[in-house]
Structure formats: C-alpha cells, structure tokens
Structure 1
Amino acid sequence: MTEPSPGASFENPDTPAVQLRGVRVHNLKNIQLNLPLHQLVTICGISGSGKTSLAFDTLYAEGQRRYLETLSPAARQFIHQLPKPDADQITGIPPTIALKQNVGRHASTSKSREPTVGIESGIQSYLRLLFTSLGLVICPKCQIPVTPQSPESVLAFIKTLPESTRFQICFPLVPGSVNSTEKLLKELIQQGMTRAIIDQQTCKLDDPDTQLPDAGPCLIVLDRLSTGKMDDQRILESVELAFEESAGSAVLLTADPPASQTPGPLFPVDQTDWHRFDFFNSLICSQCQQSFLSPEPQLFNFFSQTGTCPVCQGTGSDPQLGERVCPACQGSRLNPTALAVRIQDVNIHELGQQPIQDIASWLGALDAGPAFSSLIREISERLTTLEALGISYLTLNRRRSTLSSGELQRIALTAVLSSNLVNTLYVLDEPSSGLHSADRQRVISVLRQLRDLNNSLVIVEHDAEFICAADHIIELGPGAGKAGGELVFQGTFSELQQSAGSPTSQFLKASHSSEFQPLSGKPASGAISLRGCTRNNLQNLSVTFPLGQLCVVTGISGSGKSSLVEQTLFSSLVAELTADPASKPDTCYESLTGADQIDEVVLLDQALTGQTPRSIPATYLNLFDEIRSIFAQTADARLRNLTAKDFSFNSKNGGRCPECKGTGFIEIDLQFLADLTMVCQSCHGQRYQRELLEIKYRKLNIAEVLEMTVDEAFPFFRGQAALQKKLKQLKDVGLGYIPLGQPLPSLSGGECQRLKLAAYLTTSSRKRTLFLMNEPSRGLHPLDIQYLLNCFEYLLTAGHSLILIEHNLQLIQVADHIIDLGPGAGDQGGQIVVTGTPAEVAENSASLTGAALRQLVSGNESES
C-alpha cells in the first residue's frame, strides 16, 4: 500500500469510519483518509478541486455498486458489472443515497405536464393511497354519496320505512338486450317470476295478452311485502336476485317515503304514486344514474390515462384557448370521477390548493382508525419536514416552474430525508444553494436530526455556515484540476481556522472592509419601472430597476424574487421589445416603463443547456468545431481521408462508437430503481471508434483532449488564437476546472448559467443589453467569486446592465443597488422591504438581508 498523503488521519481506529486508501478517481491524487460515520461531514475546497469526485464518483458510486451486487443472479444478468472506483481499498461503506444539485431542476417532464410540490416531495403518492382507501364518491350533480349497494344495505334502508308501508322489490329489464322478447318472457316465467310493470301498469307474465315492449324499460316484480310483516332472509334473497338478473341494479317501490331520508321520485303504478329508489352494486348515482370509476391510486394521477382530464390531457390549460384554465377540470388536471372522491368534503385537488401548514391541521383532525395510522404518519412526517425547512407556505399543487431554486432544493431534500432509513450514508450536493442566510440554520437543523438517527451525512459545500456546522471537515485542493485532488485538511472547524495551508481557512480568516464598495461606482444610466405586479405572491408591487449598474434582488427564499425578475420583468420586456402579441405574458402587472432604454434582454437562467449527454462545453461555445478541424489537418488524418465530420460524435456518419452513439455511457432502466448509467464496454467511455483514436495531435488523441480541463487545454492549444480566445471566456467565468468533454446535463445550475455568460463576454455587439441572472455564485468557492465579479465589471464597462437574484453576501455587498423583498415567504412576502445601497439596506432593522450584512460587518470588525 502507498504512503498516506499529508493530512490523512488514521489515529483513532475505534471510531467507525469508511476507510479510503489510494483513491485516484479523476483528479484525486492517491487520497488516503478515514471518513467518520454517524457524523455530519463537509467536503470543501475551491471549484474543481475534486470534491464531487470524492463524494459522488467514489463514495456514492461504490455504495451503489455494492448494492447492485446484493441482487439475485437473475436480476444481475440484465446489468453489466459496475466498474469499481479507482482506489486501492474502500471498506466500511454503508448503503448510500445521493441528492445531486441538478436532479430536481432538470427533470425531463415537459412544462405543460410538469410535476408539483406534492409529487416532488413524495407526498402526493401517499395522498392517492389515502383517497383510495378513505375517499367517498359524491355525485357532483346530485350532491349525494355514491356507494356500491349490497342486499344488506338495501335491507337496512327498508327498515327505515314507516310501519306497515307496502313495498315492491323489482329489477329493470330492457327487452331485446339479450335475446328475443318472446324467449325472454318464457325464461322469466320458468324462473318463477309472475309480475311486471309495463307502461305504469302491473301485468301478469303468464297472461296471454302480456307482451314485453320492443323499446323502453320495464320493471320485473320479484316480491311484494309490507314492513309490518318482514322476512329479512326473503328480502335479502330477492335483492340479491335482482342484482344478478339486471347486471347490478335493483328498484324499490314504496307506498310511503322513509321517515329520515329524502323521498324518492314519484313513480305511478296502476294510477297510484309510489316512491322509487334505485340501488346499484357498483358506483352509479341512484338519482341521475351517472357512473363513476372505483377509486384507485392512478385515478388521482394526472400523468395516467385513468385519472387525467380528457380535455386538457393533464396540462390544466387548453392551448387552443391561449393557455387559459381548462374549462373542464378548472386547472385541476384530473377527470370528473377523480374530483368526485372526497374526504371530509374535500377532494384531492382542493386539498392540494391549501398551504402545507393547513393540510397538516386537516390531517390531524382526520379520524381514520388504526388501519391507516402508518399511511397518515408517512404524510405527516413529510409535511413536518417541509415545515421544518421553512416552506410550509407552499401548496402541494404548486408547479415546479413557479418555485425558486431554494424552494426546489428543500423539496428535494424532503423527498430524500423522509425515507426514515438508519445506518445510511447520505451524499448531498450543496444543500445551501438557493437559501437566504436566514433559512440556512433550518436546513442544518434537519440534517443534524437525520444524523442523530444513526445516519452518516457527507455534503459538498462552500457556505461558511454549513462548514462551521460540520462535525468533521475534509478539504481538497490546493488548486483546481490537476493542481487539486490532494487532501489539504481534515479535522474540526476550530482546527480548520488554525490551518495555514487551507485555502478555505484563508477566506474565513480574511478581513473584509467594513465599508461597502459598489462594483461600478457609477450613477445609473437610466431605469426600468414596473407597476402593480401581482404574479404568484407579489402583492401589487411597484419597483424601479436602475440600468448601467449591478442591481441585486435579495430576500428570503419564497419572498417573490423569481416571480418578479424571471416571470414578470423578463417576460414583460420580451413582449415589449419584440412587439409580438403571441409573446405577451398573462396580465400580472399594470404598466412597464423604460424598456426603450435597452436593446435586448437576456435571461441567463440555470436551465439545462444541453438535452443529451453528447452536449459538452466544447460544443456549446463552438470550440469543438475548431478542435475537430485541427485533428482533421494532421498528417495521419489526411492519409486516411478523414475530415472534421469524422471526428464528430453527434453525427451518425462520423466516427463515433456505434454502441453508445457517442455518449460514452449506456443507460439501463432498472424500473424499480433509478436509471443506471454505465461506461460503454465497447469504447470504454472514449466515445469514438478505434480508428479515430489512433489519430494524435501533440501526442494526444481526441478523446484525451476532451478529458482535459479548460485550464489544461489553454496552454495545450498554443498558437491557436481563436481557440484560446474562447477558452479564456470559460476561464474568466470561473469554469477553468471543467473538462471540455463533460456532459452538460451533469453541470450544476450555477455552472450552466456561467457557461451561458461566457458566450457573451467577447461579443462585439453594440446593443445595450440587460442581463438577468439567478444565483450566478452557485457552485463557486468564495475564492472563485472574484472571477465572476471581473466578468460583471467587464459587462458594466461595456455599457450593459445587470440584475441578479442572489443570496451570496460577497456579491450583495458590492451591489450598486439592492431591492430586498419580504418580509417573509409565500403570503407573508411579495413586498419591498427596502431598496438602496448595501449600507442603506444594512441600516434597515426590518430586513433579513440587512441583518446578514450587519453581521458580516460586525464579524469583520471583531476580527480586525
């Protein structure tokens, strides 16, 4: 075994730990460490230092591989053997569960049928079971319960009739439905039936003049009795026969109505009015005869044909009506049968429209009995977790596209953390992302509760609060890419603060000026104003955004930042600048002024920039075209008549691997588990056929070039000015550590956003552009934030404008102008708390952002 790297700690062999020896996954350099179990462990380090390689590509990958090895040989025959992470030894690893930052945000479901909070949190599936088990069908037309009847229930109804009430037990018959009327009449007589009610007259079946009608129903009388002389067994047999002979329906004619129930419709027989009551042994309304499906879980699922609205197909809106609410389901996305099932006079859609905190109260008042205690407990625990994470103001029907990144992150956490597993290793990617400083302690508290259940947590983090809260800290570095991958620190937070070789320690100990320094320092060149904004939770909000400056929109998660910037400001500016009636957003604001002061608006969101694993950073910035041309110009390529097209793994006619179609991986659908991604056994993840890999440029083939990081590729392509210019764009936005061939779906939201930003840095356009960004700092180590600030300064100098949604105090404190929303979340938010410079916001006692800025300044002053 190789020698331990500096900083490795093996002093306490009695402490249960995952033992990692000689880990060389990606850029990790022979890592040796003991990762303590049953603790909250934070892995930190600058961007690209190897954190994800250790947490996900080593720990989680090995845990997943070992789990699959426990499957039966019959199941494993459909799964290729997962490769072991490149390590000398990994022991003591428990079962693992992972939550990556980009999973919830980049789901493949189309926006029109996107999931909701209930689905993402896992609560909806339990509510479907609850409504299946306890739901009662209420006819929407008649407003009466619709339940399957039995002979016993009909007998119980008869016993509610007044004393000495005459009644007749019948069943409806439609002549000609089975065979000829003459044959049918003979069969009825043979079965001992003697009377029928035809055209409101009683007839004897054996009377030669009796004829069953060719059209129209008639009633076959099975028995005539009185409540004063009842024989329960006789009644039960008669009703059971009625159900059998009529395929599930029975008719009761009573001379007097029941004393305690609604009288039935009058039915004349022999010039005397009888009260008619229809009974069905299936879900059919006794008054209007509307039929309903039996409740089952898929009935309440708008992704299923069983439950989806037949008009809008589960979208909730009709495209032919301009995306208006579907008139059939009123936006519920469910069919009428599903909406007819109610518990305590609430259907599943109405329940999902209530805030989560109200659903918890509704559930607590539900008297379901011990048989359903486990089901209710599962729902309650998830509701409690959502409340503990500070998002109980949301509704379960809230669509994912309307949620902020912080809300999405906490909902995803709920789904993972509510599994009630013990002795499990949870691997989480930046649980602080999207969170205001006022929300972070909530998440930390939930993580500690999970740890206290005898679980182990490993989180990849940059946030100082999460690092401080860790029981054990592991830092990788000291640089990114090949300059990283080393274990530079392992220990407690207090020990980290004393570490001399830790980049994170350098940031934590760095003294920041107590005076806020605006990034541009210039007055605004103009302004854009919105009046009367009402989208989502915005409360008739009016706001002015300065131009030519760095404007940052802040506030607690759920306060309305995304609703204001992405869903109102961006959509309204697009409609104004394009003058396209089709792009006009829903009416959610009264007026917009100042749009004439910009030429274009660009939303650099965190949405997925590539739809397939074949999309890579090199293709996004057109780097790959030039790289392919360079390889096509080599002597070996010209000798084999290879062109640039042959080096494309996106073209069917190129030199890509036919097995994986150029992705380097094979997706396996495990059905009962998440899809499994495995390295292609044909090309070993290199994407290309062997012939293409034999072509070298500066001793590297094209697959090896794609494995290089941006920082490594920059000097490699010396002399290629155009190529180096684009590579520098990526370096400038802090993406120098990502490999050229990394699949874009694997990038975090912040990385996707900065990749988009890189495309605009060297643009020669003279247009006055307004850039809108949502948390561009996500995924960046504090020491890498300066890259981002340099890019912002460049754009502002070029005459552009920037509006950011941010929680990162490093960016907030250098803003030229802050718009702080709140004061709370959901219905308690959607208002402007304060606007102004960071110093002015810090002086506002009602602002949570101001409190965080004050704490930052006071902390710096105390350190100095």
Structure 2
Amino acid sequence: MKPIKIIGAKQNNLKDITVEIPKHKLTVFTGRSGSGKSSLVFNTIAAESERLLNETYSTYIQNQLQHYDKPIVDRIENLPVSMIIGQDRIGGNSRSTVGTISDIYSGVRLLWSRIGTPFVGYSMDFSFNNTNGMCKTCDGLGYIEDIDLNELLHFDRSLNEDAINFPSFSPDSWRGKRYLYSGLFDNNKKLKDYTKEELDTFLYQEPFKLKNPPSNWPKTAKFEGLIYRFRRSFLINDTYEKKKFIKDVNRIVTEQVCPDCHGKRLNDKILSCKINDLNIAEFCDLTIDDEIQFLKEIMDDKAKYIIEPLVKQLEALKRIGLGYLTLSRETTTLSGGESQRIKLIRHLNSPLTDLVYIIDEPSVGLHPEDIENINQIMLSIRDKGNTVLVVEHDPDVIKIADYCVDIGPGSGSHGGEIIFTGKYNALLKADTPTGQALSRVHQFKPNVRTASDFINIEHITKNNLKDVSTRIPKGVLTAITGVAGSGKSTLVQTGLKNRADTIYIDQKPVHATNRSNLLTYLNLFDDIRNYYSKATGLTKGMFSYNSEGACPNCNGKGVIKTELAFMSDFVQVCDVCHGDRYREEVRSAKVNGYSIVDLLNLSVDEAIGVIPIDNVNKILKSVVRTGLGYMTLGQSLDTLSGGESQRVKLSRYINESVKNHLFLFDEPTTGLHEEDFYTLKRVFDYLIDQGNTVIIIEHNLTMMTYADWIVDIGPYAGFAGGKVLYSGLPKGILQVEDSLTGKHLFRYIKNESIS
C-alpha cells in the first residue's frame, strides 16, 4: 500500500521537509514544543486534505464551508480524506449538554416516551428545547437570571454623573444618550431621589414612542427602560457585545435555580412520567456509571431494542474515562480533554474506513489511569482500516505507535526538520530530545523544600466534594493529583482561586488575531513605538501596522487575499511591502541600525539590549526564562502552540516585584515536551525563591516527581471520588493503597510500561 508522501513542506518553520507516512498504521509525531509538529500535521496534511475535499463540492456548498489556504508544500501524494479531532472545546450554549451533543439523549427521550408511566407525550415532548416539554418559567434553561440593581446603578449619582455602571451606557455613548436625551428625567437629579414612578419608567418601561421628544432625540427611536434594554442586549442571546463585556455582565447578573422546575428544565407534566421511580431529568442527573446500572435493571422486553444501543453508547463513554459525567452536564463546562474524548468516541462506531484520523494530544486532561482506555480507542479506529496520526508528548501514548516521526531538534527557527523516523524501540535509542526524554529513569526529588506555613482549605462542599478539608504548604511546589473528574479543580478553585493573593494561569490559549503579536500582548509595543517616534520624528502611529503606518496596499496585513467566486480565496504576499506590513517611509526609518521591521523580525534572545528601555529588556528577559527566547517579537499570537501560549502568560509574572503570591497552574505541562519541563521547573523554582507559593493541578508523572508536596484526590471520578486520599511528601503516596496516582508513580519510577 502506497504511503502518504509529503514532499517539500515549508509551512511556518518547516525546512523544506520530505517524509513518508505508512497507511493503516498509528503514527505519532513527537518533538519539542514549537518544533513544527502542528505545522506538518495540521497546517499541511490536514489543511490540504480539507481544502481538496471542499473543492469537490458545488460552489454554493463551498461558500458555506470553512476556507483553507493552500499550504506551502511542493506536493502531497496518496492523501486520504481526513477527520480532525482537536483539543478545542465543543462549545455550544446553555441548551447543549453531554446528552444532546452525543445524541444519547434522543434514545433516552424515546425510552421514556415508550415505557414511562403515565404516558405524557411523544419523544420530542421530553426535550427541554421543545415548547411542549420545557419549563415555561425558565424556557428550559433550568435557571433564571436576575439583575443586581446595586451593581448596575450608582444611586448616589445623576445621569449626567454616569449613574449607569456599565461601559456601553456612559453619558457620551449612544445607549446613554437614549436616557439623557429622552426628556423624561432631570439629568442632574440623583437616582436615589427619583420618585417610584420615575424609577419605574427609567428601569422597566416597555418600548414606546415619545409624544414630544426633544430635538436631539433620534426620529425613529423608541424609549425603553434600562432593564428591558439590558436584558435584550446582554441576556437573551449570546451576542458579540455580551462576550465583549462579559466581566461586567457577570458582575451585574446573578443566576438562580428556577423556582418552578428546580433546575430540571422540564415542566411538571413531563416530569410526572417515570421509569422505576425516576423521571427523565433525575436519570440524566445520574453519573454515566449509575445510568448504565439503572438501564440494565429495566425488565421490559418492548424496550430492549432501545436500551441495548443506549447502554453501548454509555459504556463507550465510560471506557474512555468519562463515567463520572452526567448527561445533563452543559457542554460549555467541559474541558478540552473531555470535549476531545466525546468527539473521538463518536467516530468509534462509524462504518467509514480508509480515512486519516488526525488527533491532537489525546492525553490532555487525562490521568495515566485513563490513558490506556484512550489508547485502545485509537487502536480500534486503526484496526478498522484507517490511518491514525497523533501529535503527542505523553510517553504512554507514544509507546503504542506503529511508527514515530520526531521533529526538531529545537523550537521555532531551531526546529522544522525531521530528525528521526522509525519504530518506538529505535526512538528510545535515538540521540534526539524525544529519545533522551523517553529513555530517562525517574526518581523523586531528593531534597524537598520545607513549608514555611500552611494554607487551610476547609469544609468545601461543591460538585462531588462533600465537606472536604485539607491544607496546602506555603513557599513550596505542591502538585494536586487524581484522575480526571476526581475533584482536583473544584477543590483548589473553590478554596483558593478567589483569594486576593492568587494568580491563576490556566491552559486556555491566548485569545488573539493575526494583528496581535508578542509585543502587543506584553504591553511593550507602545514604549517601543514612542522610542522610535522620538528618534525619527515620525508620529507614534506610523510605527503601528494597525494604524497610520500600515502599508496602503495590504492595509497592514502583509498579504493580499483575493476572493474568487468559484475557487478558494487566493492569498499572496503583498508586492509593495513584501509581507512587512508597513509603509515605505517607516521601513526605511532606522534606529540603532534597526528599522521597526528589522526589530519585529528579531528573536527575543536577539532583541535584548537593542532598545535601551529598562522595562522592555526586563520583560524580554522574563520571556527568555520561560524558554521562549526563540520567538520573534512580531510573531502573530494566533500561531502559538498551547504550551507557548501558557508560557507567554506566565512570563508577565517573572519579575522581582511579584512576591508573596499564590500561583495556581491548571495542568502547566499541557502541550509541553518532556525536555521543556526543565524550563518550567526553573520558573517554578524562581517564583518560590521570590517568596511565592506554587500549586499545580497536574497529571504528568515527571512533574509529580519534582513536587515538594502532593495532595491526591480520588480514588475515582465523580461521586466515587471527591476525597483527599493523601496529603504529604511525594514518596509517601506510594504507600497509599487506594491511590491510582501512587500506583502509576510506582511503575514510573521502576521504569515499567503502563498496565
């Protein structure tokens, strides 16, 4: 069988590489963070497969699909249709649950409509998104939203004094003027002095046309009360503006469980229908583990054909470590790892074959106990006659590969080359960063730090935690461990996240566009543009490609995109600025021998000392300490890997002024190669040396061996977890019989394979 052949790949940092990938095998792509793995697998192979598939559809259909630019590669041969399973969260909204996204809820609805008693309706009537089934009070959401007037309003101010405490309702905004210009109120009168009638009009008046509006009132506009307008603009729909002002919306809006359905989403008629004393909402609130048991106890021959496939679907979720979830869990609350596994399981029963499945770090969010399950799913997909390509760092996933492609040797411009291809056993002996990391023997850190004091977390009752207490040592590195869903995040976020001294750094990517770069994120570009402006006499705006300095031909984008009606968009480098984004007079203006373009093309390592501004150099040195010295100053943030994003966020805090804080990291090794852990460890050591406390929620065994203290939650997920199994020095966990973490640490130190 002919392999997939990539010839002359030059996407991003790839250095004109050629590689063959065997079909109907599981190939793992390894390498340092930022080495070029994603550039090859996602930006080249997956993008070209998707692009070519889209071109087979009609023009009308193509216009409805995502457009993929042609990757920079000479050619790709024998390329199958791809299925891409990324780490991005499933998304959705409050109406989307694990049950609806997996389509399992359809079978559950059918079951209750067929054998539930009393009979109350057909399958669709059991949907909380259907008007016949939903609770009318909350429209099937399970909660109602209320507005806190004391947060929305400054009652001791007048309208002229900015009485509405929300950004888009200031007196000079168009929304604010709808109250100032209405003629209905004394704009200098404090809100606390309004009569009841005035306050009711101001807050609750439904839209109406003003009879004799002032001259500055818009001709076609209607007046509507503030609460009426606020609900319409920020509560009813997930609008762009709601997302833009989400912090202020969350400050003002409180959620309360619906007083009528008590969070069940359905009306009383539907909830009266039961099977073995449970209504459909109560069933969906069970964990998947308990739902399987419940369904197996139903003795009804008529329902067999419904129950058997339902049990099969639920057992598939259990098999990949999601038995702790409930079908009623909103998809917006799922982690990236949970979302990825739900997407993966949907493909397991697909009859399609001869596809290439491209999977991005399936180990993310998984405890070693759960990795064996995800491995079996991927091998099953391969065994059905598919090709599986996996980008991965975890040793326990790499071990199952039929074939390995190692990319490196370093990151950014120091990577982008194929440094090894072959079988796993050969990779162990290879002189590459991955080979060295995989063959290393691990031990607990010999000298652990002693705590200066302890932080007490007391009586936490939330989700699966029931009156849980523990203590976290100060001035050391603590790892919070346990299987996915055991209660780790609930414990530390509830107990610690809202403390004034806590700095929380999660694994979400930096939200950015191709117009934002490393300097803009670090708030350094202003200082640099001021410096260039003073030195050259050009205005500050001229040194921004988002402002006056933008190349007039490409508007500062560096590329020209031509929309072709019958084909994909054609993108080419701007032939005026040659991709540099700036006007000619800006590109030719130099300071200390560097134009602004030259500066943006420098790596962080190269740029230190070029601009004589202490704050700039200090922060760039912080970036270097996180291992990102290879990044260029002008690199678009939307090109960063997950590991790079997290370290960019971390670099903001690596300075002498950050002391006596509690740093809380959610899986800081996400997206990191084992060789990059040394950089992370040095950063943690630096923070602790500055008098800070570092807590990591972590699944990675290598990072656990470096901890000074371990708090293990478990033993299992959901309601079978939620207990503190161990709290103490790391090596003590090996003696805890119920600890799955202890079990895997023991075999890791013994250098044994996962079992």
> CA offsets, 1:719-772, max 9 Å, x none?
565433322222222334555555556655544433222111115245x21111
1:711-860 matched pairs, under 5 angstroms:
711=605, 714=607, 717=610, 721-738=614-631, 740=633, 744=637, 747=640, 750-766=643-659, 768-859=660-751
Report the CA distance between 1:841 and its aligned residue.
Answer: 1.6
Structure 2: which 5+ runs fail to align?
148-253
CA shift in 2, pair 1:377/1:48, >3 Å: farther
CA shift in 2, pair 1:308/1:710, >3 Å: farther
Report the CA distance between 1:860 and its aligned residue.
Answer: 9.2
Match of 1:392 in 2: 323
> CA offsets, 1:223-249, max 9 Å, x none?
xxxxxxxxxxxxxxxxxxxxxxxxxxx
> CA offsets, 1:507-544, max 9 Å, x none?
223344x45334xx432111111222221112332201
Distance 1:665 1:131 in 2: 51
Moved more, 838-847 or 528-537: 838-847
Alpha-carbon contact 1:60-1:98 (below 8 Å) kept: yes
Q: Does 1:465 align with 2:396?
A: yes
Distance 1:568 1:530 in 2: 6
Match of 1:319 in 2: 145
CA shift in 2, pair 1:747/1:378, >3 Å: farther
3-state secondary structure, aligned to 2:462: coil
| 2:464 aligned partner, one-letter code | N
3-state secondary structure, aligned to 1:395: coil
Report the CA distance between 1:309 and its aligned residue.
Answer: 4.7
Match of 1:278 in 2: none
Alpha-carbon contact 2:609-2:617 (below 8 Å) kept: no
Distance 1:704 1:17 in 2: 42
> CA offsets, 1:465-513, max 9 Å, x none?
111111100001111111111110000011112223x22112223344x
Distance 2:108 2:352 in 1: 23
Distance 1:622 1:382 in 2: 49
Distance 1:708 1:471 in 2: 40
CA shift in 2, pair 1:358/1:845, >3 Å: closer
> CA offsets, 1:568-605, max 9 Å, x none?
3324xx3xx5xxxxxxxxxxxxxxxxxxxxxx112112
Distance 1:378 1:619 in 2: 52
Alpha-carbon contact 2:85-2:344 (below 8 Å) kept: yes
3-state secondary structure, aligned to 1:451: helix
Distance 2:613 2:471 in 1: 45
CA shift in 2, pair 1:20/1:799, >3 Å: same
Report the CA distance between 1:563 and its aligned residue.
Answer: 1.0
CA shift in 2, pair 1:82/1:409, >3 Å: closer
Q: Does 1:40 align with 2:44?
A: no
Structure with max Cα Rg: 1
> CA offsets, 1:312-354, max 9 Å, x none?
4554323339533111332134556765777787654333212
Of the three residues 112, 124, 127, the one matched with 1:300 is 127
Of the three residues 462, 484, 488, the one matched with 1:557 is 484
Q: Does 1:63 align with 2:44?
A: no
Q: Does 1:456 align with 2:356?
A: no
Report the CA distance between 1:666 and its aligned residue.
Answer: 8.8
CA shift in 2, pair 1:327/1:851, >3 Å: same
Match of 2:194 in 1: none
Q: Which has the higher contact order (CA 8 A, sep 6+)?
A: 2
1:382-461 matched pairs, under 5 angstroms:
382-400=313-331, 403=334, 406-415=337-346, 417=348, 419-461=350-392
Report the CA distance between 1:376 and its aligned residue.
Answer: 7.3
Of the three residues 425, 432, 437, the one matched with 1:507 is 437
Cα RMSD (Å): 4.1
Distance 2:300 2:555 in 1: 54
Distance 2:393 2:374 in 1: 15
Alpha-carbon contact 1:134-1:368 (below 8 Å) kept: no
Match of 1:245 in 2: none
Alpha-carbon contact 1:655-1:692 (below 8 Å) kept: no
CA shift in 2, pair 1:750/1:398, >3 Å: farther
Structure 1: which 5+ runs fail to align?
1-14, 148-293, 578-599, 671-675
Report the CA distance between 1:145 and its aligned residue.
Answer: 3.6
> CA offsets, 1:128-147, max 9 Å, x none?
47637973699xxxx85456
Distance 2:559 2:343 in 1: 28
1:200-599 matched pairs, under 5 angstroms:
296=124, 300=127, 302=129, 309-313=135-139, 315-320=141-146, 322-334=254-266, 348-360=280-292, 381-400=312-331, 403=334, 406-415=337-346, 417=348, 419-500=350-431, 502-512=432-442, 514=443, 516-518=445-447, 521-571=448-498, 574=499, 577=500
Match of 1:280 in 2: none
> CA offsets, 1:377-430, max 9 Å, x none?
875554232121122122111235655665444334334555453211111111
Alpha-carbon contact 2:514-2:636 (below 8 Å) kept: yes
Alpha-carbon contact 2:105-2:327 (below 8 Å) kept: no
Match of 1:603 in 2: 504
CA shift in 2, pair 1:73/1:608, >3 Å: closer
Alpha-carbon contact 1:474-1:491 (below 8 Å) kept: yes
| 2:146 aligned partner, one-letter code | Q
User: TM-score normalized by structure 1?
Assistant: 0.66
User: TM-score normalized by structure 2?
Assistant: 0.75
Distance 2:358 2:146 in 1: 45
Report the CA distance between 1:798 and its aligned residue.
Answer: 0.8
| 2:144 aligned partner, one-letter code | D
CA shift in 2, pair 1:74/1:854, >3 Å: closer
Say how many residue pairs are matched: 641
> CA offsets, 1:789-835, max 9 Å, x none?
11111111111111111112222112111111111121211112222
Match of 1:167 in 2: none
CA shift in 2, pair 1:516/1:765, >3 Å: closer
Alpha-carbon contact 1:478-1:486 (below 8 Å) kept: yes
| 2:127 aligned partner, one-letter code | F
Alpha-carbon contact 1:49-1:484 (below 8 Å) kept: yes
Of the three residues 540, 559, 562, the one matched with 1:643 is 540
Alpha-carbon contact 1:131-1:342 (below 8 Å) kept: no
Report the CA distance between 1:693 and its aligned residue.
Answer: 7.7
> CA offsets, 1:175-214, max 9 Å, x none?
xxxxxxxxxxxxxxxxxxxxxxxxxxxxxxxxxxxxxxxx
CA shift in 2, pair 1:822/1:71, >3 Å: same
CA shift in 2, pair 1:658/1:133, >3 Å: farther
Distance 2:643 2:733 in 1: 26
Of the three residues 93, 105, 111, the one matched with 1:127 is 105
3-state secondary structure, aligned to 1:55: helix
